[in-house]
Amino acid sequence: MVIAERRFENVVEKAMGRVEEMNPVDRRQRLEMFMFEIVDGQVMLHPLTEGGVQLLPPTIYLSELAVKQLMDRVGYPPKLLGRLPGKLVNLDINWLIQNTESSERTAMIRIIHGDQARAIMGSRYTPLDDAELFSIASEYIGDNATVRYESFGDLATHITVTWPEKVENPTMDSRLAGLYRGIHLANSEVGMRSITVQSILWREVCNNVLPAGLDFGENNGKLYRRGTGGRGNQGDIQSSWRFVHVGNIDRLRDFTRDAIQDSRRQTDVLLARWKQGLTTDVDAISTIEAVSHEGGLTQEQLLRTLDAMIDNAPVFGRTLTGVANAFTLAAQAEHDNEERYKMQGLGSLALRRN
């Protein structure tokens, strides 16, 4: 995880370097062509030979995510892996692999470093690696964008970039000082989230990122669809652009272009909410509690947000923008990039309570 001022081309280079380092290979194979084995907590799959050339390594070591995905597929509780004797677990899961009825018996295994299964996914899933997405995005982001946050995680990748012009502040209001427009891009190479592009405001004084809206749960923006004249649209105005890759590179390019261009325009809406929230006094503690409950935050996250609100009360008072700022400030302590982004989204949710 890096929070630094870099050019987007550096992100593309890092994504390319990860491809060279991990050497990802996708293999599709029927589940019954594997033997499961767990030894001293290490979970493995051994391909069963069926004549011809074997394209898989003799032993594939499963990541924590791959184990969970396999257990979900065969219907075995993951918590039992460490509680029952290994021989019994091996017997049970191998029986399930051979006998579980499913319409999707073929799996796509994402292998890295030659013999490590990063994920076990459905055979119809079309992965999109960060290197491919960011290479396309760089064409539309431009050379003058600055990377404010980057995180290449095991499950998801999050990148925040801003453009160089500060938001105009003719009144010299300190609460509007050092605000920059930008976008946030998110992706998962292991199928844990859809591709997302979203407008953001970045606050220089404390590195806060406020996204335009929520990007989790059931109502996180409409999926991208093609509009008339070859352009993409979302129907009603949405706070984020989401896309599920189906292997069509032209459609991906259209989505990326449309999402970035539209997100740059939507920052004006986000800025208007920020300004309006500065004039809206609220019961800050009750509002934070309500938004935290809606977002499913932990007690630790709630307390961190309350502390951030109190620390910044001399600047924002008990305003709605102060509440939003508290969530985005507290988010910076999160090591998990999805949790960090969720808390930032709750800041946006707070602004919408006006």
The beta strand positions in 223-304, using DSSP E, are: 225-226, 232-233, 241-243
In the chain, which residues have pLDDT < 50?
52-53, 217-237
Integer Cα distance of 296 and 338 in angstroms: 13
Burial zone of 46 (CB within 10 Å; 0-12 exposed, 13-18 middle, 19+ buried): middle
C-alpha 347/C-alpha 297 separation (Å) is 12
Cβ atoms of 328 and 209 within 8 Å: the answer is yes
What is the C-alpha to C-alpha distance for residues 87 and 5, in angstroms, rounded to an integer? Answer: 52
* Under 8 Å between Cβ of 295 and 349: yes
Q: Which residue has the tokens 């996708």?
A: 26
Q: Where are the beta strands (DSSP E) in 204-302?
A: 208-211, 225-226, 232-233, 241-243
Report the pLDDT value the prediction gives residue 114, as an integer from 0 to 100: 94
- In the chain, DSSP finds a helix count (H) and a strand count (E) of 10, 15
The residue type found at 277 is G
What is the distance between the alpha carbons of residues 341 and 186, in angstroms, rounded to a whole number?
10
pLDDT digits (tens, 9 = 90+) for 121-169: 988 888 889 999 999 999 999 889 999 999 999 999 999 999 998 998 8
Spatial neighbors of 299 by CB under 8 A, at least 6 apart, are none
In 184-214, which positions are buried (b, 16+ CB within 10 angstroms) versus exposed (e)? Answer: bbbbbbbbebbbbbbbbbbbeeeebbbbbbb
Hey, which residues does 203 pair with through a beta bridge? Answer: 179, 208
Q: Residue written as tokens 């490590």?
A: 116
DSSP state of 240: -
Identify the helix (H) or strand (E) that includes residue 182: strand 179-187
Widest distance between CA atoms in the chain: 76
CB atoms within 10 A of CB 312: 16
pTM score, whole prediction = 0.88
Q: In the chain, helix, strand, coil percent, each to 5?
A: 45, 25, 30
